[in-house]
Structure 1
Amino acid sequence: MNDNHSSSAWSTYSRTVFIAFAMIALGLIANEHRVHVLGILPWLLILACPLMHLFMHHGHGGHSGHSGHDHASHQAGPVQPKKEADDV
Structure 2
Amino acid sequence: MSFTKALSPALREIRILCSQTGAASAGTRQFILSKYPVIKKHNPDLPVLIREAQGTPARVFARFERGVEKHIELDNMSASEVETKVGQLLSS
TM range (shorter): under 0.3
Could you say which structure has the higher strand fraction? 2
When normalised by structure 1's length, the TM-score is 0.22
Could you say which structure has the higher helix fraction? 1
Between structure 1 and structure 2, the one with the greater Rg is 1
When normalised by structure 2's length, the TM-score is 0.22
